[in-house]
Structure 1
Amino acid sequence: MGIFEARTSAGPGRIIVTLTGECDLSAREHLTAILLDALTRAKAVFVDLAPLTFLDSSGVHSLITAHHAAKHTGGRIYVVNAAGPVAAVLDLTGVGALLRAPADEHRHV
């Protein structure tokens, strides 16, 4: 589909993964690898979706895969700053509620 980019940056006690563009089947393996790698470097991974314009079930799959991996290692993955169609997909699938960051943590991303 379109261009997709995942950038990581470190914050205090966390890794922030910022997703840009369109996340579809062509991005699934790359996104999953980025998220799983981030979980090896920090117990808390925040996925910033503000610049993301499209998310399909493949991207949701990557987020759920990372969520299960985090549970096995005592970590957490959160999604933040979702808007528009991306937020709608997360809400429809229940992933938005599952991976919602605590309010006091959300402001640090």
Structure 2
Amino acid sequence: MAEEEMADTKKAERLEQLSIVVAATDGIHVLTPAGEIDHHTGDALSQALDLTGRPRPRVVVDLHQVTFMDSSGINVLIAAHRALTEAGGWLRLARPTGAVMRTLQLVGLDTVIECHETLHQALTN
């Protein structure tokens, strides 16, 4: 019984590592993830980014509360960028933390997906 409780606790902790707030501003979907984006939480971000059923989906991911992102997060952003662009929309990133920005720059994603220092810039440029 104790092992089952421990397994449930570990699963709950893993799921709580990322929360995502979704809002809309002038027809632009703003996703604000908080926590870590990794192989345990990437699916949640991927699902939140799946707006391809809408005409010309425009999305900003506000990264100011993301404390860590690994290659799983990079892959989610690349796939979303591709899908949204193919649907006639776009994906922009706003306010990445220093650690996340280093990851984006290391793999060159900041040259593929627009990165902005402020949310306002991401929404208006």
Question: TM-score range, shorter-chain basis?
Answer: 0.7 to 0.9
TM-score between both structures, scaled by the size of structure 2: 0.76
1:12 is matched with which residue?
26
> Tell me, which stretches of 5 or more residues in structure 2 are unaligned?
1-13
TM-score between both structures, scaled by the size of structure 1: 0.86
Distance 2:32 2:106 in 1: 22
2:82 is matched with which residue?
68
> Which of 1 and 2 has higher RCO (CA within 8 Å, sep 6+)?
1
Q: Structure 2: which amino acid aligns with 1:14?
A: I
Count of residues in correspondence between the two structures: 108
Q: Which has the larger radius of gyration?
A: 2
Q: Given the alignment of the two structures, is residue 59 of structure 1 paired with residue 69 of structure 2, yes or no? A: no
Cα shift readout 1:53-106 (whole Å, capped 9, x = no counterpart): 100000011000101101211110011101211010011111122111578962
Matches within 5 A, 1:1-109: 3-37=17-51, 39-41=52-54, 43-101=57-115, 106=121, 108=123
Does the CA-based 8 Å contact 2:94-2:117 persist in structure 1?
Answer: no
